[in-house]
Amino acid sequence: MSQTDSPLPRSRAKAARHSLSGSLERMLPRLVIAPSLAVALFFVYGYMLWTFVLSLTDSGMLPQYDFIGFAQYARLFANERWNVAATNLVVFGGLFIILCLFLGLMLAILLDQRIRQEGALRTIYLYPMALSLIVTGVVWRWILNPGLGVESLVRSWGFEDFTFDWLVNPDMAIYALVMAAVWQASGFVMALFLAGLRSIDDNLFKAAALDGASLPKVYWRIVIPCLRPVVFSAVMILAHIAIKSFDLVMALTGGGPGYATDLPATFMYTYTFTRGEIGLGSASAIMMLCGVLAILVPYLYSELRGNKHG
Amino acid sequence: MSALNILHVDKTFGNTQVLKDISLAIESGEFLILVGPSGCGKSTLMNAIAGLEPVTSGDIQIGGEDVTWRTPAERDIAMVFQSYALYPSMNVRQNIAFGLEMRKMPKAQREEAVARVADLLQITPLLDRKPSQLSGGQRQRVAMGRALAREPQIYLFDEPLSNLDAKLRVEMRTEIKKLHQRLGTTIVYVTHDQIEAMTLADRIAVMRDGEILQLGTPDEVYNDPVDMFVAGFMGSPSMNFIPVTLVSRDDGYVLRVLDEQDPTGAPLELPWPPAREAQALHEWVGERLILGVRPEHFVEDETRMETSFDGTRLDVMATVVEPTGADILLQATLSGTEVTMRLGPKSQVAAGERVALRVDMSRAVLFETTNQRRVA
Ligand SMILES: Nc1ncnc2c1ncn2[C@@H]1O[C@H](COP(=O)(O)OP(=O)(O)OP(=O)(O)O)[C@@H](O)[C@H]1O
Ligand SMILES: [Mg+2]
């Protein structure tokens, strides 16, 4: 039936092409797409541009347009709090990426040993990714709260001297952030690695076993080098999660104690919306954009080049 | 002393028995080929020999030592896989040297070994390339080089040539044969390819459903099959099976070809060569049997005028004619049974014509119908 039917609408469409409804039919996809495209262009790229413009002005509580060149950027780099935020980003991002990669890879390798209940375990490891970062932050804030969480629990077991005060210790609070973020993202990295591992020819393991390589050697020398593209994508994804981290910081530490755990995103928010320094906030936002682009552009470049080859 | 001795090996996966009481002995320097339909357990047997899969019961001995419970690394075996299984991140040199490195061979010796096999397989210019930069044939060579570098006691090849195109396959086949003759290595080799099996093997083991049906030289397996399965599996195009009834006459036995379509017509009768009067044949008189004739045992009867020829004359109608270049495959109906015949390339047969043929009954075989075992 359908075989005999199908040529009909097509020929009908052909015949109608010259009529009004035909041209409407041809325009329809573009008409449907156009509003959303316009909205996206306006709200994404338009606002980016506006932010850049604002970063060149003397805006305070409200936007205004007295252009002062790159003075806001100079102020930004002289700002102690921005430097803390930038340093924090390096520490947080670096540790977060390295730990996620390491844990994700370990979990993936363990799961790849054809163990029982693999499906259930995979879901458990992936589950944190399904939570919003706000929830993660709140949960970890309770866990790490000296008065409520681990510290008080261990003390209640009789270890009175036990201290675990990362959340309130300005030197350690950033590591508390790392811990929560790693907890959330490493399951996702594991899923990436697991997919990579599953695509590896089983015979490679057999060949290596016959060659006399022990299992750790097989992974280190043969399997992990095969996963390089996965590592690359994982780093890209994790890096941009790290740069954009805002909600986790807000929920877990609120940038505190003091501004010890400020990240560029929270810095931008604080200055733009609560301290009435729109110009400075915009400058920091543009700096973040530059950071993201610095990671994204090489990635897209290699992706597109890869596609052309593939 | 046999290089490899497999004694009553069984292997079960869950409830399915994949290998059933396999026993094999392979002499040092022998080239053994395993053939059989897909899923009959060839790869499983190879994995068991290599130690990649533990056997359920039975023993495996290599060089007289029991290795049943040793790890693959301790067995001194090298394997070449269908997918080549080259390490993608290493270049050719590292691929070949990896096994030696894992066995803690000093670097100088390793390089010597790599140079030796690279020279042997003519892959020296490729040594610094990654596997992804090689063609299928080159990968195949590297995979063999990796096996050869270690100089193990036994080589296992699991369908090593099946990913290559036809021409390359023939080239590599010859090369493997030369290598074997030159190095005198002991090889167990799995293939689906009839010609590969016939040309390479010292002995062929035909497997089905986890059992070895026949183990013998290529000539034995081809010309003296133990049952209909082996007869039909070896050779391409495969043997013709023609239902017949055995009739005893004063001057010897005759095979009456049954024609289901035309039961009233005069049946075709093929005399059984008196020289082959098997002892066992008389108990099958009057029974239905299957006559097996290979396509090349039909010959076009150009000597029609002569009175003496060593064969039985047939008159058939050609239905399909397939020239292959080297010879012509002719499909014809012989008393209701489709048969394939291989005729010389000069043959002028056309579809729809009647052809006079001789069949060489001295090479024909007979099977009984219940278990399909060989009768004569
Ligand atoms: N790990 C396994 N678990 C369960 N069954 C298996 C396993 N490996 C193989 N089998 C079964 O064992 C049988 C033999 O498999 P094997 O791979 O040895 O076949 P083969 O002769 O090598 O086939 P092919 O010619 O297609 O390579 C098959 O029926 C297969 O389904
Ligand atoms: Mg197989």
By the CB criterion, residues less than 5 angstroms from ion ligand 2 are: B 43
DSSP letter for B238, please.
P
Q: What percent of chain A has pLDDT above 90?
A: 5
How many domains, in total, are found in chain B?
2
Given the structure tokens 């552009």, which residue do they identify? A297
CATH number where B360 lies: 2.40.50.140
Q: Are residues B273 and B319 in the same domain?
A: yes
Q: Are residues B87 and B197 in the same domain?
A: yes
With a 6 Å cutoff on the Cβ, whether B210 touches ligand 1 is no
Q: What is the reported pLDDT for A127?
A: 79
Structural domain includes residue B375:
no
* Domain locations along chain A: 1-55, 76-309
Stretches in chain B below the pLDDT threshold 50 = 305-309
Q: Is the peptide bond before A7 cis (omega within 30 degrees of 0)?
A: no
* Contact assignment for A213 to B89 by CB distance below 8 Å: no
* Contact assignment for B87 to A210 by CB distance below 8 Å: no
DSSP H stretches of helix in B165-227: 166-183, 194-200, 218-223
Q: pTM higher than 0.80, yes or no?
A: no
Indicate the residue of B52, B73, B85 with minimum beta-carbon distance to A201.
Answer: B85
What ipTM goes with this model? 0.81
Residue A293 confidence (pLDDT) above 70 = yes
* Contact assignment for B99 to A212 by CB distance below 8 Å: yes
Fold observed for domain A76-309: MetI-like fold (1.10.3720)
* Contact assignment for A203 to B83 by CB distance below 8 Å: yes
Indicate the residue of A204, A225, A228 with minimum beta-carbon distance to B85.
Answer: A204
Q: How many beta-carbon pairs under 8 angstroms link A with B?
A: 62
Indicate the residue of B77, B85, B89 with minimum beta-carbon distance to A203.
Answer: B85
Q: What is the reported pLDDT for A132?
A: 77
pLDDT-derived band of residue A31, with 50, 70 and 90 as boundaries?
Answer: confident
Looking at every residue in chain A, the average pLDDT score rounds to 81
Residue A181 confidence (pLDDT) above 50 = yes
| Among A154-168, A264-278, B44-58, the least confident range | A154-168
Structural domain includes residue B346:
yes
Q: Are residues B199 and B273 in the same domain?
A: no
Q: What is the reported pLDDT for A12?
A: 52
Q: Are residues B87 and B152 in the same domain?
A: yes
Q: Are residues B169 and B81 in the same domain?
A: yes
Q: Are residues B110 and B202 in the same domain?
A: yes
Q: Are residues B171 and B298 in the same domain?
A: no
Domain finish residue from B207, B233, B259: B233
Distance (Å, rounded) from C-alpha B24 to C-alpha B60?
Answer: 10
Chain B environment of A309 (Cβ under 8 Å)? none
Asked if residues B216 and B179 have their Cβ atoms less than 8 Å apart, the reply is: no
- The model's pLDDT over B140-159, given as tens digits with 9 standing for 90+, comes to 889 989 998 988 889 999 98
Q: Are residues B179 and B248 in the same domain?
A: no
Residue A276 three-state SS: coil
Mean per-residue pLDDT, A216-244: 86
| Minimum CA distance residue for ligand 1 atom 8 | B44
Chain B environment of A203 (Cβ under 8 Å)? 81-83, 85
Greatest mean pLDDT range, A18-32, A69-83, B151-165, B338-352 = B151-165
Structural domain includes residue B345:
yes
List the domain range (segments joined by +) for residue B312. 240-368
Residues 218-277 of A with CB under 8 A from B: 221-222, 225-226, 228
Ligand 1 center to B57 CA (angstroms): 18
CATH number where B125 lies: 3.40.50.300
Asked if residues B35 and B97 have their Cβ atoms less than 8 Å apart, the reply is: no
Ligand 2 center to B158 CA (angstroms): 7
Q: C-alpha angle with apex B233: B229 to B236, nearest 5 degrees?
A: 145
Q: Report the C-alpha dihedral over residues A24, A27, A33, A37, rounded to 10 degrees.
A: -130
Q: Are residues B188 and B256 in the same domain?
A: no
